[in-house]
Homo-oligomer: A and B are copies of this chain.
Amino acid sequence: MGKTVAEKIIEAHLEKGEARPGNEIAIKIDHTLTQDATGTMVYLEFMAMGLSRVKTDLSVSYVDHNLLQTDFKNADDHNFLRTAAAKYGVVFSRPGNGISHQVHLERFSVPGNTLLGSDSHTPTNAGSSMLAIGAGGLDVAMAMAGHPFHLIMPQIAGVRLTGALKQWVSAKDVILEMLRRLTVKGGVGKIFEYFGPGVETLSATDRATIGNMGAELGATSSMFPADRRTREFLESQGRGNVWKEIVADPDARYADVIEIDLSALEPLIACPSSPDNVKKVSEVEGIKVGQVIVGSSVNSSFRDLMITAKAVERRHCHPDVSLEINPGSSQVLLNVAEASGVINLILAGARIHQSGCLGCIGMGQAPGTNMVSLRTFPRNFPGRSGSFPDQVYLCSPETGVAAAVFGEITDPRKLGDYPGVTEPAKYSVNDENFIFPPEDPAEVNVEMGPNIQPFPEFGPLEDTIQGVVILKVGDNITTDAIMPAGSKVLPFRSNIPAISKFVFELLDPDFHDRAKAAGTGIVVGGENYGQGSSREHAAIAPRYLGIRAKFAKSFARIHKANLINFGILPLVFDKPGDYDSIPQGAVIRLANVKAQIEQGKETLVCEVIETGQKISFKLIVTDREREILLAGGLVNLASNS
């Protein structure tokens, strides 16, 4: 039987298991990437393993999240990452050099290779046909140490593209259409593989846009063939040598096929406050806008900035709108500057920022009270902007720039003649912004500032867990809600005791105090619990506060893996209706849980102490994950072995 692109890459990297959907498999990881907000913990974990050098083909440490530097902590983290990279054989991408995904796509991506990144948007590198997966930091640290990455073999769902995008419609509208149809949990357990005649109408960075926001579908990854457009992009980067053709066999079979006629798409927009709350731009026209931001990990490529720069040529942004540009990389800005785009943008009144995630992760750029903000970002979860409540819409650069010009949400087709953008045949590159590790790291001193605290020690699983339901939440709770980002919290990412004070802060400011008082705690959630960012702090910090189990109707993939990695039981309601039987504050007893997990039981029964009610849960984990849970987390297991 023919194979899909994803299957070919997985099979070429398979180290354990059989690649059937639902099976646990382990795959060899060729590349890793980290960013600074998750990366400091990754390197602390890696250091704890006592190895002297990473074992991947390539590991890159990016600095893109924490660039505000409101005190010593950010700069200390940058120094720690720089010196740790030199010590352990990692390439360091300097602060301001750009966003991990865009830079990796430009300078390091290799079609057919695997990439594991401690950032949920790692699948951006689907743009050049890497199998790119976001994971918790500890999984990335394990990959750097040479261990294969364990995952449940996803279904390979096909997305058949036909036609071609019309003027003022772009790749963002394709992924917004996917979100409109499938919702934020429509991709759980899947890789979306794009195929069909429409694929070759999309450039590598268009594909990267779609791959990036595949994360918003909850997908394990997204995949595109490595074809002439991939080669064209790699050649424009002076890296044509790494290209090879990888296409699906003609008789490849997809678990499911979604059809999208690109020519039928029109400009779309995700309304507050979920990426799947998608409408046609024409349906929400006329809403007054105060801020437009083009950039972040998605839509920050040359094409994205240039279409913006060309659309504002001989125009100026509306007096009520702050138009802001977050370039994806210093290479993007360099090439946009060479193409006179920087001049256009300045003349239009845009605020051009250094390359980085910035407002996308709540590091600045917060909108004002009741201010509508249009962003080309991937996420608009409540409060992620830094303002709460907020009104953040997600859209293409075309839709963003139309709002910037007219001062209200406007169908970008009203901008008139479509200027088009041609990518450089040869991009100007600037690889001196990377610091390559020395051959002999003996003299490198890893610099750890005072905010950088070692990884906390956790004990093994108890025989019996008895704890209080500290918090009960609804469906689609994001890791942003569990462990906020933003300018106040991100600087503590290297310091678990400090960051734990902010767990669930937006939903419930007393969570920390109640959890500490209770000693042992449980959190109850609904469907798709832990969607969004890959941040493992959303598991480590609750564990630090004594959370030993989370009950939910379903878990998002990365968060579930993180919970297991840090010794929190991810238990799924056997009967979803039982969700209603557990009030916040209830005392719950999970008797003999250790013995049952050792015995491989899949159903665990807990007792609600107040009512005596028995509720059964599924513990859907692999044998390896059972071992991790019994050890109290993967760090313990790795140290014991």
Write the residues of chain A forming the contact surface with B, with a CB cutoff of 8 angstroms.
Answer: 67-72, 74-76, 78-79, 82, 94-97, 290-291, 316, 319-320, 322, 324, 330, 333-334, 337-338, 342-343, 346-347, 349-354, 359, 362-369, 371, 386-387, 430, 432-433, 435, 449-450, 486-488
Contacts and interface: CB of A to CB of B under 8 A. Distances in A.
Contacts of A367: 72, 75
B334 A366 contact: no
B349 A94 contact: yes
A316 B94 CA distance: 12
A69 B449 contact: no
Contacts of A338: 343
Contacts of A97: 349
A320 to B, nearest CB: 8
Contacts of A450: 369
Nearest to A346: B334
Contact of A353 (B343, B353, B386): B353
A316 B432 contact: yes
A261 B330 CA distance: 43
Contacts of A352: 333, 352, 354
12 contacts: A68-B364, A72-B367, A72-B371, A72-B387, A75-B290, A76-B368, A79-B371, A94-B319, A94-B322, A342-B342, A369-B449, A369-B450
Nearest to A449: B369
Contact of A368 (B79, B351, B363): B79
A417 to B, nearest CB: 21
A312 to B, nearest CB: 11
A433 B348 CA distance: 8
Nearest to A354: B351
Given A70-B487, A75-B290, A353-B353, A449 B368 contact: yes
Given A68-B70, A79-B368, A346 B354 contact: no
Question: 4 tightest A-B contacts by CB?
Answer: A75-B368, A96-B351, A70-B487, A72-B387
Given A322-B96, A346-B334, A346-B337, A72 B366 contact: yes
Contacts of A435: 319
Contacts of A351: 95-96, 354
A337 B309 CA distance: 14
B75 A346 contact: no
A291 B95 CA distance: 12
A352 B369 CA distance: 28
A430 B369 contact: no
B433 A349 contact: yes
A368 B78 contact: yes
A537 to B, nearest CB: 19
A382 to B, nearest CB: 14
A281 B75 CA distance: 25
A487 B67 CA distance: 13
Contacts of A488: 70
Given A70-B488, A487-B70, A337 B330 contact: no
